[in-house]
């Protein structure tokens, strides 16, 4: 499904396509608010593809895209309205915003030398070998230089199609950059409940998917000043 962009804010860049991966049900209102406030070049379109087969959806975005670039976005993220314009301003072949994984210890979804990249002490633009597709801006001439299918899911590893896509980009002769100063928040469904540890001490269990993180009440020194009625 294609929708002509409403928030046309700039003539500084050519139009393109914002490809949005959507789940079978709406997941996060924060994403809707972020998307509604996204600034885009005039003439750009939003393209939506529903379902969990992400490699298929990526190829569909590319085959049906309009304009000179494709910006990929998942529906479980929150971002600032100028994220796309900042990425376009870099004038790079491929550039991605920084996001983190959903589960502790929440490492960045950036890879070098076949492992998660250490970003300690780093900022701004860095070259990466692999990354997640959400938050990625890729120019049309890069996609034209690659073969169809651009994205494949060739093993069962979670996120494998993202890394395969990055490998194909680099094999086509292009570099991938990440801007560590442009952040893409990863939204997670989370249950919060009070529990005791094995020693009987109270704490809070943050339930993240099928995992959980136990935070002892002693984590928070002193009394918390809470506004009554705020949930």
Query: How would you write the pLDDT of the chain (231 residues) with one tens digit per residue?
Result: 565 665 556 678 999 999 999 875 557 888 989 999 999 999 999 999 988 788 899 999 999 999 999 999 999 999 999 999 999 999 999 999 999 988 777 899 999 998 999 999 999 999 999 999 999 999 999 999 999 999 987 665 556 889 999 999 999 999 999 999 999 999 887 777 877 888 988 887 777 655 677 778 776 544 444 343 333
Predicted local distance difference test score (pLDDT) of residue 6: 56
The two tokens of residue 42 are 């005039």
d(CA 25, CA 163): 26
User: What are the backbone dihedrals phi and psi of residue 9, each rounded to the nearest 5 degrees, phi first?
Assistant: -115, -15
* 176 within 8 A of 71, measured Cβ to Cβ: no
Query: Which residues are CB-neighbours of 133 under 8 A, at least 6 positions away?
Result: 54, 58, 72, 74, 151, 161, 162, 165
What pLDDT score does 205 carry? Answer: 79
Note the CATH number of domain 2-186. 3.90.550.40
Mutual angle of helices 160-171 and 54-64, in 10-degree steps: 40
Q: Please state the pTM of the whole predicted model.
A: 0.83
E-assigned strand segments in the chain: 2-4, 8-10, 17-22, 40-41, 45-50, 69-74, 77-78, 94-98, 110-112, 115-116, 125-128, 130-131, 136-139, 176-183, 185-186, 190-196, 202-208, 211-216
Closest Cα partner for 134 from 25, 11, 35, 7? 35
pLDDT at 104: 73
pLDDT at residue 134, as a whole number: 94
Q: How far apart are CA 75 and CA 21, in angstroms?
A: 6
Distance in angstroms (rounded) separating the CA atoms of residues 169 and 139: 11
| Domain boundary assignment for the chain | 2-186, 189-231
């Amino acid at each position: 499904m294609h929708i002509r962009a409403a928030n046309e804010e700039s003539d500084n860049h050519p139009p393109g396509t914002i490809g949005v991966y959507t789940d079978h049900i709406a997941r996060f209102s924060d994403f809707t608010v972020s998307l509604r406030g996204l600034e885009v070049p005039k003439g750009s379109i939003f393209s939506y593809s529903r379902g969990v087969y992400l490699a298929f959806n990526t190829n569909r975005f590319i085959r049906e895209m309009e304009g000179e670039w494709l910006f990929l976005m998942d529906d479980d993220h929150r971002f600032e309205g100028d994220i796309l314009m900042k990425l376009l301003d870099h004038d790079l072949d491929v550039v991605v915003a920084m996001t983190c994984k959903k589960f502790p210890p929440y490492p960045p979804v950036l890879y070098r030398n076949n492992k998660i990249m250490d970003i300690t002490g780093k900022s701004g633009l860095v070259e990466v070998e692999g990354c997640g597709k959400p938050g990625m801006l890729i120019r049309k001439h890069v996609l034209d230089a690659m073969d169809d299918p651009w994205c494949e899911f060739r093993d069962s590893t979670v996120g494998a199609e993202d890394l395969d896509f990055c490998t194909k980009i680099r094999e086509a002769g292009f570099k991938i950059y990440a801007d560590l100063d442009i952040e893409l928040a990863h939204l997670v469904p989370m249950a919060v409940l009070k529990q005791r540890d094995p020693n009987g001490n109270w704490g809070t269990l943050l339930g993240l998917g099928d995992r959980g993180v136990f935070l002892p009440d002693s984590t928070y020194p002193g009394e918390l000043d809470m506004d009554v009625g705020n949930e």
